[in-house]
Chain A
């Protein structure tokens, strides 16, 4: 129990800059590691079962990648088309350059309606803008209604996985949480009963909330349609029962044609949770029309940049925006599996988080994240839209340690991990390698005085044996062998 409490404290709202300490703490927590190992194995098996034939999968991935690349290539045009279509359908479109602007727009709409309560469907973009905090500051309750999100919000935490927010919690922890925090709930470890408790609380909220907020999985430009993917029905509740529906999304989620949706949707659910389809696919093309008896009377869409245009500006890094947020990269990441989602301290954890967070937050607080990878390549192999994640990790590691190359605008926080010592070491190394005399002299000294190598070598020897030069260099040994040959 001690370790559980410890982790709960450590996991709340950690700054991304504390990544190294947080990941070290997480690795030391056997309970947390067991939870994630089990959950990730489960999700990997379920995904694999959906793709029995590799050739078919590769064909699907090729098409999905092309659709995303095509959409991004035409992004400015498609965003304008989407805005035109949505406006014609009666949806109000807002643009926000950063989190503060997005939150201000949403708070403004809520205040116009004198709202006291907003129910939220799952939206990672609203986590990214920390909307709940902004709503609370304005005196408006923002209640998460996805079961997993509801659970982590009740415990004052943040999601640890983009698809399964409460994946780090055991049912015993949730049972205790409900018994303590939900009025009238008694302790039960039955998952069905726990879900019933959540259902009962949230139904009352769906009924009374004036505002419903949701994310967007795909936006279709040609029809002006917002698509939501979910199993629980809370997304439908939030977008149907309250008088006002506000959707918030990153600018990259738009596709041109409705026929582009089936290939992406089919890969999204299979990659995410190993389901051939989700319970609900909710396509919203406008508010309640004259004569209709339900549905929101107002629908708003907030389009958020928040650093995405920085990724867009670079041809290689633009691929980051192909992401459809399935979470398969984290499910298959050996680092994520060992440290869990909270250690990253960012809204998006795991491999996708390591390549998108530097754009959303700048490299200053995030430069350690791209190093949280063994570059094994599992993420790129499972990515349904074929984002070359390891290449982008290497690219960002570089951008964090040097100034912007000519022809490239500096990233926010460019060179954040620059170190004089490292520059000197590399410069010395390069000088040695370029001059054979120096190099041979260095090798002679290193092999002869190998007994002087220090037994502790900074971070290396924390979990590895110390590095020590060989007795003789390869070159010397080859020469010796040639000499001894009969």
Chain B
């Protein structure tokens, strides 16, 4: 008999005969549903993200690459890691940002360079959460996991139309349970720690800075 069979055997021997009914998480959130407007969701997201020390820049479809170029110049970013074949790859390549570095081969071939010589990483975020000021980032083949983790600055582009009221709504509305990627992330601000005498310090192990480019309409700028 294996450890597995013995453990499961013990559990089965004492599990209650009748399981309680399925807990209704929907009811909990239905009581709180606010029907917030787009403007309210944007405002809440910006407020909360700023609370977590994340920077938010409102940009438009036409202006975001130019704003990103300015940002790179202002921050002195010498290498901006990005997915060349990602959704925004072509737009970035056409933006005249000199520091663009494509994440174009397996990390095993250039791990040291990634860790030691990359100033910033650019990813898209597939959504956001208004309640907590959170980005929803699903890394994929084109925009791998480490872009949003290793470089000291993480810049993320998110469409204001994809801001959900709360995590539960995002999971349900976008049917996460049927299509989760190998790694899905929620990111709320730059990396931080309060492990030394409850004193908050940023840039513990991940990015020291998180800058959100929030895609809005012209009149929402």
Residues of A within 8 A of B (CB): 39, 42, 56, 59-60, 63, 66-67, 69-70, 73-76, 79-80, 89, 95-97, 101, 145-148, 151, 164-167, 169-171, 174, 191-192, 194-196, 198-199, 202-203, 206-207, 222-223, 225, 231-234, 236-237, 240-241, 243, 251, 256-263, 265-266, 273, 276-289, 291-295, 303, 305, 309, 312-315
Name the CB-closest residue of A to B6. A97
Name the CB-closest residue of A to B103. A293
* 6 CB-based A-B contacts, threshold 8 Å: A39-B198, A76-B15, A258-B180, A289-B182, A293-B107, A305-B10
Please state if B15 and A73 are interface contacts (CB–CB under 8 Å): yes
Query: Which B residues, 152 to 206, have Cβ-Cβ distances below 8 Å to chain A?
Result: 166-168, 171-172, 176-177, 180-199, 201, 203-206
Name the CB-closest residue of B to A192. B201
Residues on B with C-beta less than 8 A from A170 are: 197
Q: Contact check: which of A233, A259, A260, A288 meets B191 at CB < 8 Å?
A: A233
Please state if A279 and B203 are interface contacts (CB–CB under 8 Å): no
State A138–B176 Cα separation when bound (angstroms): 41
Taking A39-B198, A76-B12, A277-B186 as contacts, is the C-beta distance between A292 and B19 under 8 angstroms? no
Please state if B193 and A73 are interface contacts (CB–CB under 8 Å): no
Please state if B205 and A74 are interface contacts (CB–CB under 8 Å): no
Residue B13 is within 8 A (CB to CB) of chain A in the complex: yes
State A223–B175 Cα separation when bound (angstroms): 12
7 new A-B contacts at CB < 8 Å, known A63-B23, A194-B196, A295-B182: A148-B193, A191-B196, A207-B111, A241-B150, A259-B168, A279-B52, A293-B107
Residues on B with C-beta less than 8 A from A251 are: 7, 11
Residues on B with C-beta less than 8 A from A79 are: 7-8, 11
Residues on A with C-beta less than 8 A from B76 are: none
Q: Contact check: which of B8, B20, B206 meets A69 at CB < 8 Å?
A: B20
What total count of A-B pairs have CB within 8 Å? Answer: 248
Q: Contact check: which of A80, A174, A222, A292 meets B144 at CB < 8 Å?
A: A292
Q: Contact check: which of B3, B6, B183 meets A240 at CB < 8 Å?
A: B183
- How big is chain B's contact interface, by range? 35 or more
State A225–B141 Cα separation when bound (angstroms): 19
Please state if B10 and A309 are interface contacts (CB–CB under 8 Å): yes
Residue B101 is within 8 A (CB to CB) of chain A in the complex: no
Residue B4 is within 8 A (CB to CB) of chain A in the complex: yes
Name the CB-closest residue of B to A152. B195
Please state if B176 and A258 are interface contacts (CB–CB under 8 Å): yes
State A191–B217 Cα separation when bound (angstroms): 41
Kindly provide the distance from the CB of B205 to the nearest chain A CB, expressed in whole angstroms.
4
State A17–B7 Cα separation when bound (angstroms): 28
Please state if A241 and B111 are interface contacts (CB–CB under 8 Å): yes
Please state if A232 and B145 are interface contacts (CB–CB under 8 Å): no
Q: Which of B16, B26, B204 has the most CB of A within 10 A?
A: B204
Residues on A with C-beta less than 8 A from B176 are: 258
Residue B149 is within 8 A (CB to CB) of chain A in the complex: yes
Residue B31 is within 8 A (CB to CB) of chain A in the complex: yes
State A284–B186 Cα separation when bound (angstroms): 12
Name the CB-closest residue of A to B2. A95
Please state if B204 and A95 are interface contacts (CB–CB under 8 Å): no
Please state if A223 and B23 are interface contacts (CB–CB under 8 Å): no
Residue B37 is within 8 A (CB to CB) of chain A in the complex: no
Q: Contact check: which of A166, A169, A280, A305 meets B206 at CB < 8 Å?
A: A280
Please state if B196 and A223 are interface contacts (CB–CB under 8 Å): no
Please state if B195 and A164 are interface contacts (CB–CB under 8 Å): yes
Q: Contact check: which of B25, B27, B107, B193 meets A232 at CB < 8 Å?
A: B193
Residues on A with C-beta less than 8 A from B34 are: none
Residues on A with C-beta less than 8 A from B204 are: 147, 195, 198-199, 231-234
Please state if B193 and A283 are interface contacts (CB–CB under 8 Å): no
State A206–B203 Cα separation when bound (angstroms): 15
Please state if A284 and B20 are interface contacts (CB–CB under 8 Å): no
Please state if A59 and B188 are interface contacts (CB–CB under 8 Å): no
Kindly provide the distance from the CB of B40 to the nearest chain A CB, expressed in whole angstroms.
17
Kindly provide the distance from the CB of A281 to the nearest chain B CB, expressed in whole angstroms.
4
Residues on A with C-beta less than 8 A from B3 are: 95-97, 101, 305
Name the CB-closest residue of A to B199. A191
Q: Contact check: which of A97, A166, A309 meets B196 at CB < 8 Å?
A: A166
State A416–B18 Cα separation when bound (angstroms): 34
State A360–B188 Cα separation when bound (angstroms): 35
Kindly provide the distance from the CB of B10 to the nearest chain A CB, expressed in whole angstroms.
4
Q: Which of B52, B141, B150 has the most CB of A within 10 A?
A: B150
Residues on A with C-beta less than 8 A from B166 are: 262
Interface pairs A-B: 9 shortest CB-CB: A233-B206, A148-B195, A232-B204, A281-B186, A233-B191, A95-B4, A294-B107, A66-B23, A147-B195
